[in-house]
Structure formats: C-alpha cells, structure tokens
Amino acid sequence: MSGNKGPVVPQCWERFGSGRPRRCTAAPDGSLSWEAGGGPGRGLRAALTAVFLPHGFPDSVSPDYLPYQLWDTVQAFASSLTGSLATQAVLQGVGVGNAAASVSAATITWLLKDGTGMLGRIGFAWLMGSRLDCEAKKWRLFADVLNDAAMFLEIVAPAFPSYFTLIVCVSSLAKCIVGVAGGATRAALTMHQARRDNMADVSAKDGSQETLVNLAGLLVSLLLLPLLSEQQSAFELQQVSEGHQQPYLLRWDRCRGQIQVTLGQEVSAGLILRAATHGLLLAALLEDVPLTEEMETLRAQIRAVPEGDNWTIVKETYQILDRLYPKFLKELQAVGWETERHLLEVDEWRAAWPQGEKKIL
C-alpha cells in the first residue's frame, strides 16, 4: 500500500488459448484495461467462431478438424441440393400434381418405401455394427457414396414407372444404411477430434454447421427447382406437339386463364396464322359460346377429359385443328382473305427445341 494511491499493479499479459497475448495496464483510478486484439476478439468473425466452432478452437480439437469440416461442408451442401431434386422426383413419381393418380396407391408406395428402409436399418446394424469402430474412415466414405447412389436412384425413378416402387424401396434401404453407417462412424470421428474431453461440444457445433449448410442449400434449392420445373414445362410442350410437326407450341395456363403460344425459329406468316387460329379454337371450346353442331361434339369430348389434365386437352386440340384447318383456310381464301401475311401483334422472340423425324409420304 502507498498512501491513498491504491495497490501498485505491475504490467501483465493474458492469452486465450494459442492466440496472441495482450497487455494489461493499470489506469490512474486503479481500474485495469487491456489493449485491443488477442483472445477470442470481437466482431463478426468472433461471433461466427463462437457459434459454429468448439470452445477453445483450435487448441480444443485435433489438427485435422478444420480441413475435415471444410470438405464435409462442401459434401453436405451438394447433398442438400441433390436431396431437393430427389424429393421432387419422388413426389412426382407417386402422383403429386397428377389428377389421375390414386391416393391409396401413393400411400402404399410410401409405406413400402419406409418399411423397407426400417428393415434394412435393423439388418445392417446387426450384421456390420461391430465392424464400424474398426474401420471408421472406410465406412464413412461408404456412407457418402451410398447416399449419392440412393439419391440418383430417386431422381431417375420417375423415368421407369413400371419399376418405380421397386426403385424407391431400394433407395430407401440404401438411405437407412447410410444413416446407420454415417451416424456410428461420426461418433468415432468426434472422439478423435475432441482433445479436451469436449465430445458434446464438438458434436453440437458439428450439428450447427450442418444446419447452416442445409439452410443455405434450401435457399439455393428454392431458386433452382423453379428453373428445372420450367425446363420440364418445355418438355411437356414438346410431348404435346409430337407427331404434328408444327413449329409452334401451345400451352393452356388454367390458373391465369391464358393461352400461350411459343413460336419456333422456322415459323412463317402462314404458320403464325395457324397458331393464332389454334389458340382461338381452344378458347372457343373452353368457353360457353354458341358453336356449330360439329364443334359442340368436340367441346363435349374436351370436357370429358379429367379435371386438371390440361396437356391432354391441348393435345386433343392439335388433332382437331389438323382436321379442320385446311377447310377453314380454303374458305378464307375463297372469300378474298390474304393468308400469306398477317397484321397480328407478334414479337421477335423465337424458341428452339429438338424436332422428331419427319414422315415422308
């Protein structure tokens, strides 16, 4: 003690883990202050470190922790995107969006898929459970490869409707094996990475990292899936026009009440007139307007198509127009209409799509 000046505090340093030390000094009023830097620090980087990395990082984990987690993050992000595509394919395969699909059939398929996976989980744990600790890295790699294979099967399953149930059951079996092998080997890797008896902390932060990656994958999937769906809206248009060899595609958007026409690159003025006639024909058949007896018969055929099956309705109108348009065109020409050019409002956008083989008569 020295009068009323308080205790004399010598200069000292402190350090957080292996970080750079920072100096401590005494203020005139006896309080202590530290220089900026060192320790866990502050700011965004410090916040992210505290949330997503084990306490005491990097001293509290093994040297290979960060490289492993970086590659694991890349793998998890890719799996998240692929999983979204696989989920979309499975839902499409069980009939989501198809008015003709049976709810009971979809339910049975789903139950068979889940049941196969449950049996596979039990069987794999019984046969291989004692080997997972000995060869953790091998089984971890096996789980990642098998997971990719399972998602690939789900993506291609809708292309094989006759074998769809079998394919998704095999995929579910593989995914459940992945769950057992991946979960068991992850525990062994966590034990290796935890260097301060902090297995719970390392495991919890690994879960936080995976959740963040899945969230990022979800956001990207929300942008990716609509683009893929539009490319599928194009595939269906092409399927509808198959066999007609017309350089335009017609689509009926029931939700918006619109009939949309996509013109091909080789379209001529006469074909633009045909496409416009096609759209008007479809609109007339769908609306409650007076028609001739022949057209009323065609309207009844169109309305007999199940609700929601828009593509079948459009395909029917292709066939109807093939039969009616030549006569309609001749009658226009007979009364003096010029059919080689038009004054319709058409922009310059043109589309291209694979054309089928042309038939030669």
226 shares a domain with 103: yes
Give the C-alpha separation, 45 to 296, whole Å. Answer: 71
pLDDT band at 2 (very low <50, low <70, confident <90, very high): very low
Using 50, 70 and 90 to split pLDDT, how confident is the model at 42? low
Q: Is 111 part of any domain?
A: yes
Structure tokens given for 122? 């039990």
Co-location of 187 and 328 in the same domain: no
Residue that finishes a domain, picked among 232, 262, 277: 232
pTM score = 0.59
Q: Does 277 lie in the same domain as 129?
A: no
* Number of domains making up the chain: 3
Examine residue 313 and state whether it is found in any structural domain, yes or no. Answer: yes
Which pLDDT tens digit goes with each residue over 142-177? 998 999 999 999 999 988 888 999 999 999 999 999
Q: For residue 100, name the pLDDT band (cuts at 50, 70, 90).
A: low
How far apart are alpha carbons 260 and 282 in whole angstroms? 11
In this prediction, residue 36 carries a pLDDT of 59
Same domain, 96 and 226: yes
Same domain, 32 and 105: no
Contact predicate 87/172, CB 8 Å: no
Taking the CB of residue 337, how many other CB atoms lie within 10 A of it? 10
Question: So what's the pLDDT on residue 19?
Answer: 62
Q: Which of 44, 9, 38, 8 lies closest to 23, judged by CA? A: 38
Q: Which domain holds residue 111?
A: 65-232
Pairing of strands 248-253, 32-34: unpaired
| CA 169 – CA 115 distance, rounded (Å) | 8
Is residue 247 within 8 A of residue 271, CB to CB? The reply is yes
- Give the burial string for 295-316 (b: 16+ CB within 10 Å, else e): beebbeebeebeeeebeebbbb
Mean pLDDT of the 30-53 span: 69
77 and 113 in a single domain? The answer is yes
Is residue 358 domain-resident?
no
- Average pLDDT rounded to a whole number, residues 172-195: 88
pLDDT cut 90: percent of the chain above it: 14
18 with 131, same domain: the answer is: no
- Please check whether residue 58 lies inside any domain of the structure: no
Last residue in a domain, options 199, 232, 265: 232
> Residue 1: inside a domain, yes or no?
no
The answer to whether 157 and 90 are in contact (CB under 8 A) is yes
Judge if 201 and 310 occupy the same domain.
no
The pLDDT tens digits for 49-73 are: 888 889 888 888 989 999 999 998 9
Across-strand partners of 33?
Answer: 25
Of all residues in the chain, what percent are helix, strand and coil, respectively (each to 5)? 60, 5, 30
**80 and 98, same domain (yes or no):** yes
pLDDT above 60 for 273:
yes
Q: What is the per-residue pLDDT across 202-260, written as a single tens digit (0 to 9) for each?
A: 989 988 998 999 899 888 888 877 776 655 565 555 555 555 567 787 777 766 677 88
If asked whether residues 121 and 198 sit together in one domain, one would say yes
- Contact indicator for 57, 18 with CB cutoff of 8 Å: no
Alpha carbon 286 to its chain centroid, in Å, reads 35
b/e map 3-23, b = 16+ CB within 10 Å:
eeeeeeeeeeeeeeeeeeebe
* DSSP β-bridge partners for residue 122: none
Q: Which helix (H) or strand (E) holds 278?
A: helix 269-286
Residue after which a domain boundary falls, among 232, 254, 276: 232
Q: Is residue 350 part of a domain?
A: no
Q: Are 81 and 224 in contact (CB under 8 A)?
A: yes
Return mean pLDDT, the chain. 79
185 and 99 share a domain? yes
**4 falls within a domain:** no
In a domain, 353, yes or no: no
Whether 216 and 317 share a structural domain: no
The structure tokens listed for 77 are 């992000």
